[in-house]
Amino acid sequence: MSGRTDKNVHAIGQVFHKDISKVWSNRLDELQKILNRKIPNSIKIQNLAETSSKFHARFSAKKRTYRYIFSGESSNPFSEKFISSIDLKNFDLQKAKIGIELFKGIHDFKNFSKEGSEPKSTIREIYETRAYQYRSFYVFKFSGNSFLRSQVRFMVATIIKFAKNELSENDIFQMLERNRKICFKPAPANGLYLWKIQY
């Protein structure tokens, strides 16, 4: 797998690799149909392709993109699994655009990871960020080399608090410098999407 996701997080662009018999080399379309009949309806294999023996779905990835989709409207049974419903009183999208930019670059994201996860390094690089509105929804986009467990959800929660004037730029810098701990929960999992993996 190209990356692990928390429970209730979605993956549109998930990639996995598997060694299989050469018998299937010229029958990948057939194999895809067979596998899609076997797996749960909530999962769908969109494409199968033969790769180099050196390819690794996780370690060969150069760039990962996540999107977080949320709304200030009350949740309904049709969207609650896919869009986070968040209290957006005093939320300012223009401030969110400023806040999300603070995460670009190379930072130590130890404070933005879930306790209990102990990677060798908590240094990560964020290449691109974007905050925008699409119809009645808001979207935060993050692209980076890799992400810590729950990192995106903690960044989202932080940006929303900044956009509601509950945190300052200095507060965020202090968190990134590990001089201040995060004392709030990450954003709900249901709004997060692993959107794309690039190799």
Residues with catalytic roles: 6
Q: What are phi and psi of 198, to 5 degrees?
A: -120, 140
Q: Which residues contact 79 (CB under 8 A, 6 or more apart)?
A: 71
Contact call for residues 154 and 84 (beta carbons, < 8 A) = no
- DSSP H helices in the chain: 28-38, 93-101, 151-163, 169-176
In Å, how far from its chain's centre is CA 141? 8
Residue 54 tokens, joined: 């050196």
Positive or negative, the CA dihedral 197, 130, 125, 103 is negative
Q: What token pair was written down for 58?
A: 């996780």
Rg (CA), the chain: 19
DSSP letter, residue 163: H
